[in-house]
Amino acid sequence: MESILESLEETQTIVLITVLILLIMWESLHPFYEYFTGSVKSRGKHAFRNLIIAGINGLMVSVLFAGLWFAATVWADENRFGLMHWFQDAAGLPVWAHAIGVILLLDLWLYAWHRMNHEIPFFWRFHSVHHSDNKMDVTTAGRFHIGEIFFSSILRIFIIVFFGVYLWEIVLYEMGMLAVVMFHHANVGLSEKYDRILRTVIVTPNMHRVHHSRWQPETDSNYSSLFSFWDRLARTFRLNPKPESIRLGLDQLDQEEDQTVKGMLKTPFDQRIK
């Protein structure tokens, strides 16, 4: 199992780096919005700020939570605790069925957590950092306040135990989920025809652009991360027939200072956030 896990982790790294590079190239050759056209310096500054935030989050997770997640998976396995372990023992589920069940449950949890970040004012203060990006591109996928990542990482410990998750399943899920998250944040020009086909299963750029709209009825929709059907089931699915008309960002966080690393870290404590 260790060799399988190591192989998965290596594959995850290769896949995510490859997806990032390909999306950056796609954004360069065929952007949906033109806000970085002819301004390499502006695009580089925007990407640098977002990647610094992503790097801070990654460092915190690796230092504080990776070991706790591993310990939670070991405890759940050894004690055969959690929904999928119970199903596996009671019904003799094969490994692939256990993995599919876990992936669906983790994605459902991420939908619920994302929606909580919009509906609970305390969490919205942190999540607004993600939505304040008025020039969304692939690097926005990593632009989350460290406080939001801290709370979600703590809750994940309990989710791992409650669902009965193996560590390799987390790696597998995150590989697919993070690739799709980068894709639907990317500033890529994808025809409506292909976007419509893809969003029958996964979240797509035109679907997620609605979620990053400044208009609150649109902001408070399309919470899914990997699979798009959670929004349809929960009736939070929404489209804009003219995605090019969507204004990204938040009105109250539209100053240059709000886009800096310092400004993003201070955002949850800003009195402008309601």
Q: Give how far Cα 175 sits from Cα of 19, 23, 135, 218, Å.
A: 10, 16, 25, 28
Domain span at 15 = 2-269
Give the pLDDT mean for 71-78.
96
Instruction: State mean pLDDT over 48-60.
Output: 96
- Mean of per-residue pLDDT scores for the chain: 95
Q: Is 183 within 8 Å of 24 (Cβ atoms)? A: no
Which pLDDT score is estimated for 272? 84
In a domain, 175, yes or no: yes
User: Does residue 181 lie in a domain region?
Assistant: yes
In a domain, 231, yes or no: yes
pLDDT of residue 1: 56
Residue (of 11, 46, 178, 40) closest to 106 by Cα position: 178
Task: Assign 31 to helix, strand or coil.
Answer: strand
The pLDDT score that the predictor gives to residue 9 is 76
Instruction: Compute the average pLDDT of residues 111-134.
Output: 98
Q: Is residue 63, in this structure, part of any structural domain at all?
A: yes
Decide if 145 contacts 268 (C-beta within 8 A): yes
| Interatomic CA distance for residues 274 and 92, integer angstroms | 49
Overall domain count for the chain:
1
Is the residue at 274 inside a domain? no
Note the pLDDT of residue 228: 98
- Read off the pLDDT of residues 181-204 as tens digits, 9 standing for 90 and up: 999 999 999 999 999 999 999 999
Q: At what angle do helices 121-131 and 95-119 cross, to 10 degrees?
A: 100
Q: Is residue 118 one of the residues assigned to a domain?
A: yes
Question: What pTM did the predictor assign?
Answer: 0.95
Residue 166 placed within a domain: yes
Task: Spell out the residues 6+ positions from residue 136 whose beta carbon is closer than 8 angstroms to its own.
Answer: 33, 185, 187, 209, 212, 248
Q: What is the pLDDT of residues 226-238, one digit of tens each?
A: 999 999 999 999 9
